Each structure stands twice: as C-alpha cells, then as structure tokens.
Amino acid sequence: MLNKALLKKIAVAVLIAAAETVLTAPTKGENAR
C-alpha cells in the first residue's frame, strides 16, 4: 500500500500541474489566435 506522505506528494503534484494548465491554457489560446 502507498504511504499517506507519498499520496500527499502525488496530490500536490497533480494540483500544481492542473493549476499550471489552467493558467497557461488561456494564454496559449490567445497566442494561437
């Protein structure tokens, strides 16, 4: 079984990746246009 600490690290990494995607997606869309 996975450690809770490892799960927390994975959760944080996923949240950061999601936040970066949300923040950068609109900018890329505007540049594409």
C-alpha separations of 30 from 17, 22, 26 in Å:
20, 13, 6
Q: What is the pLDDT of residue 28?
A: 67
Tell me if residue 1 falls in helix, strand or coil.
coil
Residue 31 clears pLDDT 70, i.e. is over it: no
Residue type, 2: L
Q: What is the pLDDT of residue 13?
A: 96
Q: What is the pLDDT of residue 23?
A: 85
pTM of the predicted protein model: 0.59
- pLDDT top residue among 32 and 24: 24
How do residues 2-27 score in pLDDT, each as one tens digit?
A: 799 999 999 999 999 999 988 887 77
Where does residue 8 rank: exposed (0-12), middle (13-18), buried (19+ CB within 10 A)? Answer: exposed
